[in-house]
Amino acid sequence: MRLWTLLKTTSAYRLEELIPTARRPKVLTMLLALARQKAVHANASDAERLRLALESLGPVFIKFGQLLSTRRDLLPDDFADQLARLQDQVPPIDPDIAIRVIEASLGASIIDLFARFDREPLAAASVAQVHSAQLKDGREVVVKVLRPDIEPVIKQDLRLLKRVARVLNRLSPDFRRLRLPEVTADYEQTLANELNLAREAGNASIIRRNFIDSGLVYVPEVHWPMTCDKVMVSERIHGIPVSDIARLNDLNVDLKRLAERGVEIFFTQVFRDSFFHADMHPGNIFVDASDPSDPRYLAVDCAIVGQLDDNDLYYLARNLLAIFQRDYRLVAQLHIECGWIPATAPVAEFEAAIRTLCEPIFERPLSEISFGHMLISLFKTAGQFDMTVQPQLVLLEKTLLNIEGLGRQLYPALNLWDTAQPYLERWLSDRYSPTAVLQRLQKQAPGWLESLPMVPDLLLNRLRADPATPAPPPRPVWAWAITLIGCLGLTMTAIQPDPPLTLAIVSSVVFTFGLVKAVR
């Protein structure tokens, strides 16, 4: 039924006219003939009809339009302008309905909750809308309210997407390589998180804490006593939309510095914090231009965040750095090492393919290159080597597209490579510095110490489970003595606020050596 709705919407808004007749699939033409509808908004432009159609289809399709709106290099200006309206100009819900949701969620009347509540919303998005208000103590806040009855619509669309993904997955090896079912499952989890405003508030608090002493970005403070799964109250901020380039220019804002800081914020969130804002479209980003020479970002709507584990971060950083350094052989080896392409893939051929793809884009500003086109070429090239899409990196790729779109609007001459390479080199150097290694040892030491007394019981249980195993030779007492000495050294390292680096390294080596000799 939802697929039928999609066909009727396509017909009503005449979206098939966006596809040249010669390239229009015959199956689509036949289905649209069956679902033929009376044209709506017939006098509207193609771009406006596309926006209205996406609005009518609901949140999943609105978010697709939001992502497209940042890619002005892939779209005509009129389409980009229309889709940009999806970011914060979705038709709002009735204020009386919003008030009823707030009162039911917080268990009090709107008069008792706020000194002032503005019925006219500040912004309306696909999942929620925002009203300005004032607390009883005089603080200015914004109140975010989840749209009622939004969950059934999203679940229906996701069911359709999952079915389509399963069908496409069976049709071709190319689709199987994209791992569409896993990607759709990740997207489902992402949208589920966005439907819980308490989780969004938690995300915002973490990002705020990560940058609390930084001049790069500011995240509004959450007012927790009035925050739950359907309502979120937070500090009101005042800034200039990052897409308002004309106003930023009027204020003489340093756009080059602003664009470079956007790149720095992204890499800091990904590699330092492993926790990044993954919905960085222009509707969620503002600029504090109180000091035009030192502008600062203001970030809202932290519902969608991305996280990567240590292995993903390590391989991602080394891959990016190897590309920046044009070490294509290392790129090929890393792809095999981390399992992104099969171990049987020919390294030399894959190296040559990456070189052919990457060389043309170096030493060129963002105004002359497109990551969108590069990603399309990458998928085509990688398909020859059975490279699979990594679902855990999909949000990261989406955020990179957002960053490119913002950078292109702010400062088209920005050289992403020159901005990112020093940061990646510094991150890898810091991660494997003696101090960082010592900190990780201190973090792991309590767990090792807790598990150490259980090692003899684990060995005995293993032997009892396999009676055919011959009795092991007596363990040397000296090996257990060395293990105990190393354990004591690690304990001293863990409890001292500023332990000597030599003690940590020697203790780790002694403990590992003794334990290996004792249990082998």
- Tell me what percent of the residues of the chain surpass a pLDDT of 70: 70
* Mean pLDDT, rounded, for 448-473: 63
pLDDT band at 208, cuts 50/70/90? Answer: very high
* pLDDT, the chain, mean: 78
Q: Tell me, what's the pLDDT at 87? A: 57
Q: What is the pLDDT of residues 112-139, one digit of tens each?
A: 999 999 999 988 877 889 999 999 999 9
Question: Which of 519 and 80 is assigned the larger pLDDT?
Answer: 80
Q: What percent of the chain has pLDDT over 90?
A: 22
Q: Let me know if 219 is exposed, middle or buried by CB neighbors in 10 A (0-12, 13-18, 19+).
A: buried
Q: What is the pLDDT of residues 434-450, one digit of tens each?
A: 666 666 666 666 766 66
Give me the residue spans of the domains in the chain: 2-87, 150-192, 241-432, 435-519
Q: What pLDDT sits at residue 506? A: 67
| pLDDT value, residue 173 | 67
Give me the pLDDT at residue 500, please: 64
Give the active site residues: 279
pLDDT for the residue numbered 274: 86
Q: What's the confidence (pLDDT) of residue 386?
A: 73
For the ranges 7-16, 312-321, 497-506, the lowest mean pLDDT is seen at 497-506
**Cβ neighbourhood burial of 262 (10 Å; 0-12, 13-18, 19+):** buried
**How sure is the predictor about 492, in pLDDT bands with cuts at 50, 70 and 90?**
low
Strongest mean pLDDT among 6-20, 163-177, 276-290? 276-290
pLDDT grade for 206, boundaries at 50, 70 and 90: very high
Question: Looking at residues 355-372, what average pLDDT do you find?
Answer: 69
Give the number of other Cβ atoms within 10 Å of residue 269's Cβ: 23
Q: In the numeric block, which tokens belong to residue 5?
A: 């709705």
Token code pair at residue 284: 């969620």
pLDDT at 474 over 60: no
Judged against a pLDDT cut of 90, whether residue 101 lies above it is answered with yes
Separation of first and last alpha carbons in the chain: 63
DSSP code per residue over 287-328 = EE-SSTTS-EEEE----SEE---HHHHHHHHHHHHHHHTT-H
pLDDT of residue 60: 73
With a cut of 90, say whether residue 227 has pLDDT above it: yes
* CA dist., res. 59 & res. 56, Å (int): 9
pLDDT per residue over 308-347, tens digit each? 887 778 777 787 778 777 888 888 888 888 777 888 888 8
Task: Give mean pLDDT, residues 257-279.
Answer: 87
Taking the C-alpha atoms of residue 151 and residue 93, their distance in angstroms, rounded to an integer, is 15
Q: What is residue 18's predicted lDDT score, i.e. its pLDDT?
A: 76
Q: What is the pLDDT of residue 379?
A: 60
DSSP three-state, residue 342: coil
Q: How far apart are CA 498 and CA 295, in angstroms?
A: 37
Confidence of residue 36 (pLDDT cuts 50, 70, 90): confident
Please give the residue that has the higher pLDDT: either 258 or 194.
Answer: 258
Per-residue confidence at 231, pLDDT binned at 50, 70, 90?
Answer: very high
pLDDT at 99: 95
Cβ–Cβ < 8 Å for 266, 399: yes
Amino acid making up residue 206: I
Summarised one tens digit per residue, pLDDT across range 367-387 is 566 655 565 566 666 667 776
Rounded average pLDDT over 40-55 = 85
Question: Among 24-28, 72-76, 229-233, 470-474, where is mean pLDDT lowest?
Answer: 470-474
Structure confidence at residue 144 as a pLDDT band (50, 70, 90): very high
Place of tokens 């920046």: 324
Which residue's structure tokens are 């290996």? 516
* pLDDT average, residue stretch 354-374: 69
Cα–Cα distance measured from residue 11 to residue 36, given in angstroms and rounded to the nearest whole number: 6
- The mean pLDDT of 208-212, rounded to a whole number, is 94
Instruction: Give 153's pLDDT tier (boundaries 50, 70, 90).
Output: confident
- Return the number of other C-beta atoms located less than 10 Å from residue 173's C-beta: 9
Tokens of 245: 């380039």
Question: Does residue 266 surpass a pLDDT of 80?
Answer: yes
Distances from the Cα of 101 to the Cα of 123, 145, 249, angstroms: 17, 7, 41
Res. 248 pLDDT band, cuts 50 70 90: very high
